Amino acid sequence: MATREEILHALARVVGVALQIPDPPIDEPEPSRWTARADVGPAETSVLESVAVQDDTPESLAFVRGGAEAAEELEFSPVVAFAVQVKPGAGDSTGDLRRIRRVRRDQAVRQIADAIAADPSLGLDLETYAEVRPAARDDDVAFPNALPSATALIPVRVLYTGADAAS
């Protein structure tokens, strides 16, 4: 049986591997750790990304039958928050920057979804199952001390077995 905290850290590891970055922080209120990415976007642009895993309150689904040790089948939906910004270069238009941000954001959503689909147990036990829900995408989001960003909030539905709803 996995705990919610273990699941959050496992999800962060899966996201980090998918995006080829160190494990993202958990419950970061707003992007503060921007990573420069030379391997994405056009060669002449400077792409910065930030990602975090946000916790959510679990919902109790049902008691699992059998055995002396009763367990609960639980569900919660952490959210992977992804943001990308592009530093403008000479001759870059607002439309060009927006297009580059959107393309990278959509690539990242696909990378995260594919990584979770490849291992829905998140590397934990077989009683853990994760699936990506539709992402909420937004453009030209303003964060303090950052350029306009394209963002994606990617909910991940996680079913797992715990000792009780506090697990």
pLDDT for res 59: 63
* pLDDT attached to residue 90: 75
Output the CA angle 8-10-15, nearest 5 degrees.
95
Of 13-22, 58-67, 119-128, 151-160, which range is least confident? 58-67
How far apart, in Å, are the Cα atoms of 27 and each of 31, 56, 83? Answer: 10, 9, 15
Give per-residue pLDDT as tens, 90-110.
777 888 889 999 999 999 999
Q: Could you tell me the pLDDT band of residue 127, with boundaries at 50, 70 and 90? A: confident
Name the pLDDT band for 113 (thresholds 50, 70, 90): very high
pLDDT-derived band of residue 67, with 50, 70 and 90 as boundaries?
very low
Q: What proportion of the chain, given as a percentage, has pLDDT over 70?
A: 88
Structure tokens at 108: 């990242």
Mean pLDDT, rounded, for 33-55: 84
Instruction: Check residue 60 and give its pLDDT.
Output: 58
Q: In angstroms, what is the C-alpha Rg of the chain?
A: 18
Residue pair 87/105 in contact (Cβ under 8 Å)? The answer is no
* 32-46, 56-70, 94-108, 139-153: range with lowest mean pLDDT: 56-70
Give the model's confidence band at 80: pLDDT under 50 very low, under 70 low, under 90 confident, else very high: very high
Mean pLDDT of 25-48: 82
List, in order, residues 6 or more apart from 54 with CB less than 8 Å away: 26, 27, 28, 78, 79, 80, 81
Longest dimension (CA), the chain: 69
Contacts with 17 (C-beta within 8 Å, 6 or more apart), sequence order: 115
Given a cut of 90, whether residue 49 has pLDDT beyond it is: yes
